[in-house]
Amino acid sequence: MGNRGKAWYKWAQQAGMEVVGVVDINREILDAACDELEVPAPMRFESIGAAAKATGATVGTICSANPAHFKCLDESLDAGLNVIIEKPMVERHEDAVALIQKAEQKGLRIAVSQNYRYHSGVLTTRDAVEKGDIGEVVTVNVTFIRWRPTEGLFLPLMLNQSIHHFDGLRWVLGADPEWMFAKSWNPGWNDCDGPTVLEAIYGFSNGAVVTYSGSYVAQGKVTPYSGNWRIEGSKGRIQFEGDGNDTPVTLYRREPEEERELPLLKADLDGPSMMCREFLEAVKENRIPPTDATDNILSLAMAWGTELSSRENRVVQISEVT
Do 247 and 110 lie in one domain? The reply is no
Residue type, 253: R
CATH of the domain at 109: 3.40.50.720
Query: How confident is residue 246, by pLDDT bands cut at 50, 70 and 90?
Result: confident
Do 172 and 315 lie in one domain? The reply is yes
Domain count, the chain: 2
Do 211 and 304 lie in one domain? The reply is yes
Q: What is the mean pLDDT of residues 241-252?
A: 89
Q: How far is CA 293 from the centre of its chain?
A: 11
Query: pLDDT tens-digit profile of 117-141?
Result: 999 999 999 999 999 999 999 999 9
Q: What are phi and psi of 211, to 5 degrees?
A: -110, 135
**C-alpha distance across the termini of the chain, in Å:** 32
Residue whose C-alpha is closest to residue 18's, from 52, 58, 75: 58
Answer whether 64's CB lies under 8 Å from 72's CB: yes
Res. 244: pLDDT tops 80: no
CATH of the domain at 213: 3.30.360.10
Give residue 84's domain range. Answer: 3-114+272-292
Do 45 and 170 lie in one domain? The reply is no
Rg of the chain in Å (alpha carbons): 20
Do 130 and 226 lie in one domain? The reply is yes
Do 315 and 175 lie in one domain? The reply is yes
Full-model pTM? 0.96
Length of the chain equals: 322
Do 65 and 205 lie in one domain? The reply is no
Do 141 and 285 lie in one domain? The reply is no
Res. 318: pLDDT tops 80: yes
CB atoms within 10 A of CB 258: 10
Do 19 and 33 lie in one domain? The reply is yes
The predicted structure's pLDDT at residue 64: 94
Do 84 and 149 lie in one domain? The reply is no
Q: Name every residue whose Cβ is closer than 8 Å to that of residue 236 and which is 6 or more positions away in sequence.
A: 133, 134, 135, 251, 252, 253, 254, 258
Answer whether 100's CB lies under 8 Å from 295's CB: no
Do 288 and 235 lie in one domain? The reply is no
Is residue 250 exposed (0-12), middle (13-18) or buried (19+ Cβ within 10 Å)? middle
Q: Name every residue whose Cβ is closer than 8 Å to that of residue 128 and which is 6 or more positions away in sequence.
A: 134, 238, 249, 251, 262
Answer whether 180's CB lies under 8 Å from 158's CB: no
Do 49 and 173 lie in one domain? The reply is no
Query: pLDDT tens-digit profile of 74-128?
Result: 999 999 999 999 999 999 999 999 999 999 999 999 999 999 999 999 999 999 9
CA-CA distance, 73 to 281, in Å (whole number)? 20
Answer whether 253's CB lies under 8 Å from 261's CB: no
